[in-house]
Amino acid sequence: MVVVLLGPPGVGKGTQAVRLADEIGAAHVSTGDLLRAARREGTALGRKAAEYMDAGELVPDALILDLVREHLGTLDPATPILFDGFPRTIDQATGLDDVLAEAGRGVDHVVLFEAPDDVIVKRLSGRRSCLDCGAVYSIYFNPPAVDGVCDRCGGVLIQRIDDEPETVQRRLAVYRQETAPLVEFYEKRDGVLKRIRADRSVDEVYEALRTALGLSGA
């Protein structure tokens, strides 16, 4: 099974992807996480990507497609995959089709997470991420037991540079311009795209996600 989680920044894709990947034994492929790892490691790609990411712009398609192709090469070809934050442009989506076709696979489900901008802005302003293990918290909805310290690994929690208010507005604009056209792209494929309301509790969104994927009652 190949699933794409689509939706604006901060709508909760990563939170749900971690839980679903755990439940169904899928590989969680977040291009944002792969890029942040490349930055931490100081690779050439990480250095190139940094400027785009901190400004809330998209990293060029060619770099992203190389990154995804390389990462997929490390996975067992039969592993279910959850793409989170990828594809983000029409060119990335057609590139993904090509890469999957080489392995005799295709996109089975696209789940579109929808929430009003004010909900998204609040979520991003409250997000804190662990520098060491990448775990995600919210100072409003899911705070760590000790302020600024990761429950999971004891690492330091930080606010991402791109979660600052001006950059969030830019990311939302980029989403509308570059990524929202993917809704129509996938709507043309019969029954592939499902919409879920993401302005609900984490548990409610998770149940909606499971239903969208036909996992409820399973």
Q: Binder to ligand AP5 among 26, 123, 157, 212 (CB under 6 A)?
A: 123
Say how far apart CA 84 and CA 88 lie, in whole Å: 10
Q: Which residue is nearest to ligand AP5 (CB)?
A: 32
Q: How far is the CB of 168 from ligand AP5 (least distance, A)?
A: 9
Q: How far is the CB of 53 from ligand AP5 (least distance, A)?
A: 4
Say how far apart CA 40 and CA 59 lie, in whole Å: 16
- List active site positions: 13, 88, 127, 160, 171
From residue 4 to residue 43, the character string flagging contacts with ligand AP5 as x (rule: CB under 6 A) and all else as - is: -----xxxxxxx--------------xxx--x--------
Strands 157-158 and 109-114, how do they pair?
A: unpaired
State the maximum Cα–Cα separation within the chain, in Å, rounded to a whole number: 47
The distance in angstroms from the start CA to the end CA of the chain is: 15
Select from 52-60, 104-112, 143-151, 207-215 the region that touches ligand AP5 (CB under 6 A): 52-60
How many binding residues for ligand AP5 (CB under 6 A)? 35
The residue whose two tokens read 């942040």 is 36
Question: Helix crossing, 13-24 with 202-212: angle to 10°?
Answer: 60
Residue 76 burial (C-beta neighbours within 10 Å; 0-12, 13-18, 19+): exposed
Q: How far is the CB of 70 from ligand AP5 (least distance, A)?
A: 14
Residue whose CB is less far from ligand AP5, 16 or 190: 16
Say whether residue 179 binds ligand AP5 (CB under 6 A): no
CA distances from 20 to 109, 143, 213 (A): 14, 21, 11
From residue 56 to residue 95, the character string flagging contacts with ligand AP5 as x (rule: CB under 6 A) and all else as - is: xxxx----x--------------------xx-x---x---
φ and ψ at residue 150, rounded to 5 degrees = -70, 125
Site residues, ligand AP5 (CB under 6 A): 9-15, 30-32, 35, 52-53, 56-59, 64, 85-86, 88, 92, 123, 126-127, 136-138, 141-142, 162, 171, 201-202, 205
